[in-house]
Structures are given as structure tokens and as C-alpha cells.
A = this chain, B = another copy of it.
Amino acid sequence: MCTSSSASSTIWAPHLHRIHVILHPHCWPTTDLRGLPTLRFRFASRPARTFLALSEKHNHTATNCHGPQLPSPSIGCRPRRGPHARLIDGKAIADTIRSEIAAEVAAMKQQYGLTPGLAVVLVGSRKDSETYVRSKKKACAEVGFDSYGTDLPADVSEEELLKVVESYNADPRVHGILVQLPLPKHISEKRILDAISIDKDVDGFHPLNIGSLAMRGRDPLFVPCTPKGCIELLERMKVPISGRRACVIGRSNIVGMPAALLLQRRDATVTMVHSKTPDAQRICSEADIVIAACGVAEMVTGDWIKPGAVVIDVGINAKDDPTAKKGYRLVGDVEFAGAAAKASLITPVPGGVGPMTIAMLLQNTLEGARRAAKGESAGKH
């Protein structure tokens, strides 16, 4: 028998097979059930047909989760085979953006005789940094940019590195300068980043750019690539931001903080949770948009996600997996299966935010070149 209740959200008997009813946001508008994320209904002898018909009438999506005794799909339920959320295909979106950039580069060459140029400075020989730098240069070549590179030994002096930065500041062929982080400990990251001309600060890490990002009525010359990529994903997926609750998990200068400022600029109501937040899960579970950038593998589980939320997973962590060829697999800061069962849209890891970061770096460099072509400059620094 299918037992429904208008007073309780969890009537279930775990030893029986269950039906999950995912409520549409505006269903049952006249009862207290509105907003309850998931109702579980016990059924035994009587078929679930009655309940499912009722559920359809009330405009729900009824999904049978487990077990072979599924009611027939003809009465409006579909067997659960994978996550409920649609995937946000960051790779495909990044490819589209790269094609758009390549087209504009071709036009720019014709109109202004100008080729965007990106300079990448690498200090030392960290394997991961070398990989990133290589893929950035490759991406430049693919869209028709010129790329310039300076590789310096790990023991280079701060002064020498500064000289390299300043030579690129002065070089009119260069529209973006990227110093690959992290730098060796004897070099002040702050001093190097501050030395990059804000006209060429394609990483967007200069405090003048961050300040303009925070202030109403101002526009930064460049927005940091990864958070910019997150917003681009939301916008290309037509996710409404204005008026929505957003939760940013993590408050790094590189992702969390600028992501929060970007959402804020688009009229979201933003809460940034961090290691000192005692009830991060509860706060996150109220958010329509979640950007996870805490750097902790699979910290954000399904419990953190409001049904129907949009989840952007910035994390990329190696997790031991003896069944995988390399002995590990890449996971995000979000526990994918659990979150995907609750979210309406979610980025996979890999293939979500990752490909967007380089696409945004190219976009920033193109913007720098565009401003140079038009003779615009911040005129400072």
C-alpha cells in the first residue's frame, strides 16, 4: 500500500523498496510540503500506481530508485540509472570559446595587423608547472597567438626575475604576462605579481584588479581565469544568477574570493564558507549555486546540495584507486555521485572547470590585445 502523508517528510521502511519523489521547486504550493527536498513513500502490496498518478497530477517527477519491482514506466516513472543532474561539459564549452577566440584573432590580424602575444615565465622545474606551461603554450598556438617563454632556474634571484617581468612589461608584442605559480620560497610572490603591468595582468591577481572587482561602479581590466571560467559556465548554461543564493566553499585569492565577488556583481546573495565556518554544510544546502574550491577531495557530499542546485566543482585531487591504471583517479572537491543525485546541473572532474581556465587565459590575453589595438591603457604602473 502506498502511504502518503501531508505532515512528515520521511515515511519509509528501509527493508522495502523505495520510491524517491523529487519535488519541482513550486509544487504543492498550498501545503507545508513545499520545499521538502525528498519524500520517501513506503509501498508493499498495492502498486505504486495510485501514488504516482497523484504525484504526476501534482506536477512532480517521480523516480523509482531501487529494486526490480519497479512500477511500469508507462505510469510516469523512469528507472534510476545514473545521476539526475545534467552534466556541464566544460570541455565542449571551452572548445567553443577557443573557436570564437581563433576567429577574432584572424579578424584582428587582418584589421590591425596585430597578433595577441602571451609571455609565460617558468621558474624551476616542477613537473606540474611544466605541464601547465606546456599546455598554455599549445593552447596559444592553436588559436593563433604568439607565445613567448622564459624558463629560469629554481635559484634565480628575485631581481633577475623582476627584470624579466619588466622586459615583458615593455615589450609591445606581449599583451599578457603569466608568471607560473608557485614560485620558489626565496622569491616574494607578492613583489613579482605587483610588478606585472596591470595592462598585462592576464591572471587578474593584481590588487588593483581585485579592488576594482570588489567595487561597484568599477571594472577590473582582467578577472582571474578560474573563477571567470566558473561564471562563464553558468552563463553559457543559462543559469540565472541574479537574486539567487550562492555558496562559495573556500576563500583563496585565486578562486574562492574572486568567485564570490563575481557572483556578487551579478546580484547573487553570496555566502563564502571556509575552514572556520562551523555549519558549512547547512549553509551550502540553502544555495542555488555552489562553487566548491576548498581543495579537499570529495568534501562536499550530497547532503550539502539543495535539490535542483547548480554545482561547479573547481577541485582536482588525486585519489588512490587500485582499479585504475595509474593507481589513482582524479576527483573534485565534490563527491560526484551524491551531489549529482541532488543537483540539476553539475560539472564533472576532469572535464568541467579545468578546460575553462586556459580558455579564459586566452580570452584575457585577447582582451589585452584588443585594448592595445585600440590604444587603450590603464596608464598606470
Q: How many residues on A have C-beta within 8 angstroms of the other chain's C-beta atoms?
A: 34
Please give the distance in Å from A267's CB to the nearest CB on chain B: 4
B215 touches A257 (CB 8 A): yes
A210–B217 CA distance with the chains assembled, in angstroms? 14
Closest chain B residue to A242 by CB distance?
B276
Which residues of chain B are within 8 angstroms of A267 by Cβ–Cβ distance?
Answer: 274, 276
Q: A211-B206, A211-B210, A243-B278 are in contact. Are A216 and B273 (CB under 8 A)?
A: no
Q: Is A190 an interface residue (CB 8 A)?
A: yes
Chain A positions 181-217 with a Cβ under 8 Å from a chain B Cβ:
190, 206-217
B243 touches A276 (CB 8 A): yes
Copies in the complex: 2
Complexed CA–CA distance, A261 and B272 (Å): 11
Contact of A208 among B208, B213, B217 (CB under 8 A): B208
Known: A243-B278, A269-B272, A270-B272. A207 touches B215 (CB 8 A): yes
Distance in Å from the Cβ of A278 to the closest Cβ of chain B?
6
Give a binary string over A227-256; 1 marks a CB under 8 Å from any B CB, 0 the rest.
000000000000000110000000111000
Task: Kindly list chain B residues whose C-beta atoms are within 8 Å of the C-beta of A271.
Answer: 269-271
Cβ–Cβ < 8 Å partners of A214 in chain B: 207, 210-211, 213-214, 257, 261
Q: Does A218 sit at the interface, judged by CB under 8 A?
A: yes
A253→B208 contact, CB < 8 A: no
With the chains together, A272 CA to B272 CA distance in Å? 10
Contacting residues, chain B, for A226 (C-beta < 8 A): none
Which of B208, B210, B264, B276 contacts A272 (CB under 8 A)?
B264
A264 touches B251 (CB 8 A): yes
Most buried by B among A210, A211, A217, A283: A211
A-B contact list, 29 entries, CB within 8 Å: A190-B218, A207-B207, A207-B212, A207-B215, A207-B218, A208-B208, A209-B211, A210-B210, A210-B215, A211-B211, A213-B214, A214-B214, A214-B257, A214-B261, A215-B253, A215-B257, A216-B251, A216-B252, A216-B253, A243-B276, A243-B277, A251-B264, A267-B274, A267-B276, A269-B272, A269-B273, A269-B280, A270-B271, A271-B271
